[in-house]
Amino acid sequence: MEKPKYLYHGSRYKVDILEPRQASGLPEENGTEFGVYAYEHQEMVIPFSLTITPFEDGKMGIQVDDATGIVTLSAGVWDETAIGYIYQLPSETFEMIDDLQWVSRQPVKPIACTAFYGREYADKVKLIGAALEYQLNKK
């Protein structure tokens, strides 16, 4: 596969430089690398840009469908009023680690940053179970 000119990274935080960090994902999903993660397609990073936090008791259940980018939240709180950020990145320092993900072990200066409110991607968030109950009861 040819390396794309640009890659995308999603975050809840606005920064000038993306610094490599220890990921806390699943080993079977190549989610344990130290670096800056990125994807080739912008829509794949939306879930990482959304503000989703655990319940007060620490419980959180979240699943992201890699094919559709839809986030299913079964436990936890989604703040649709929070701002998320999608960064466009130069691909020079990135290497592909699986069919979807790229990683850079060096800091990356974004080319561009797009800010949005979580509610703009309401069609990508599906609340079920305790997360849905929480959302309905807070209104």
CATH of the domain at 14: 3.20.170
Residue 95 in any domain: the answer is yes
What are 125's two structure tokens? 């968030």
Residue 22 in any domain: the answer is yes
Residue 14 in any domain: the answer is yes
**Total count of domains within the chain:** 1
- Over pLDDT 70: what percentage of the chain? 92
Domain of residue 85, residue span: 6-138
Question: For the purposes of burial, counting CB atoms within 10 Å of the CB of 8, is it exposed (0-12), middle (13-18) or buried (19 or more)?
Answer: buried
Residue 1 in any domain: the answer is no
CA dihedral 112, 117, 119, 120 (to 10 degrees): -40
> Shortest CA distance to 52 belongs to which of 70, 68, 31, 75?
75
Residue 101 in any domain: the answer is yes
Residue 86 in any domain: the answer is yes
pLDDT mean values, one per 10 residues, the chain (139 residues): 91 96 63 84 91 93 86 94 97 93 96 96 94 87
pLDDT tens-place string over residues 17-52: 999 987 765 555 555 678 999 999 998 899 899 999
How far is it, in rounded angstroms, from Cα 3 to Cα 56? 42
Residue 90 in any domain: the answer is yes
pTM recorded for the entire structure: 0.85
